[in-house]
């Protein structure tokens, strides 16, 4: 599906090839840091973190000969800003049957901004068990942290103004891969 006119606002900062390269690099970084894929669990944060986690798992599988477990972790009801920003309805949380206890859990999201989504993810994850290690992989880190949270694996550091929006589009949900940055007035609904 081609981009719609409203998706054409702002400027493109990553195209499909850039995203593919970033995810390949993140996959290799995860493998190096974990010394392989043993006890590795990737949990994508809905919506776009889930397909990113699946793509990373596929790339890890190409290198390791086996695909690590992948799931999803919805954080909607754990957010501390529900009154300020009404949330979408809860999405599915899917934790593999082997659980999270003792595993290296890599939370995967599209954009890291204030850190509040990741704080909520850590709270949500605690309800499912006790991982051995929790790491964070993001496609884009745009800065402006409000909490002491940092990503372990970053596809692109993208300094931005608070008045700008970063829009991630993925084939799985939007029909094409792209990251754009635009003035907030021209890009509602994105981080």
The predicted pLDDT at position 2 comes to 53
For 15-81+95-167, which CATH class? alpha beta
The predicted pLDDT at position 4 comes to 52
The predicted pLDDT at position 80 comes to 83
The predicted pLDDT at position 79 comes to 86
Could you write out the three-class secondary structure of the chain? CCCCHHHHCCEEEECHHHHHHHHHHHHHHHHHHHCCCCCEEEEECCCCHHHHHHHHHHHHHHHHCCCCEEEECCCHHHCCCCCCCCCCCCCCCECCCCCCCCCEEEEEEEEECCCHHHHHHHHHHHCCCCCCEEEEEEEEECCCCCCCCCCCEEEEECCCCCCEEEEEECHHHHCCCEEEEEEHHHCCCCC
Domain-by-domain residue ranges, the chain? 15-81+95-167
The predicted pLDDT at position 9 comes to 82
| pLDDT tens series, the chain, 191 aa | 555 545 568 999 999 999 999 999 999 999 999 999 999 999 999 999 999 999 999 999 999 999 999 999 999 989 887 666 665 677 889 999 999 999 999 999 999 999 999 999 999 999 999 999 999 999 999 999 999 999 999 999 999 999 999 999 999 999 999 999 999 874 444 56
pTM: 0.91
């Amino acid at each position: 599906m081609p981009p719609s006119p409203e998706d054409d606002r702002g400027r493109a900062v990553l195209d499909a090839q850039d995203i593919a390269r970033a995810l390949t690099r993140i996959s290799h970084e995860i493998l190096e840091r974990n010394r392989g894929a043993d006890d590795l669990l990737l949990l994508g944060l809905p919506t776009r973190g889930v397909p990113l986690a699946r793509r990373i798992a596929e790339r890890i599988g190409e290198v390791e000969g086996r695909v690590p477990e992948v799931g999803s972790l919805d954080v909607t009801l754990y957010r501390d800003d529900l009154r300020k920003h009404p949330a979408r309805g809860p999405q599915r949380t899917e934790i593999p049957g082997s659980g999270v206890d003792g595993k290296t859990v890599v939370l995967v999201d599209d954009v890291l901004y204030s850190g509040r989504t990741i704080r909520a993810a850590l709270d949500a994850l605690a309800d499912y068990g006790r991982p051995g290690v929790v790491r964070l992989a993001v496609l884009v880190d745009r800065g402006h942290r409000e909490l002491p949270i940092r990503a372990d694996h970053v596809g692109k550091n993208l300094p931005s103004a608070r008045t700008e929006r970063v829009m991630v589009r993925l084939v799985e949900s939007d029909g094409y891969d792209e990251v754009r940055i635009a003035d907030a007035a021209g890009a509602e609904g994105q981080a």
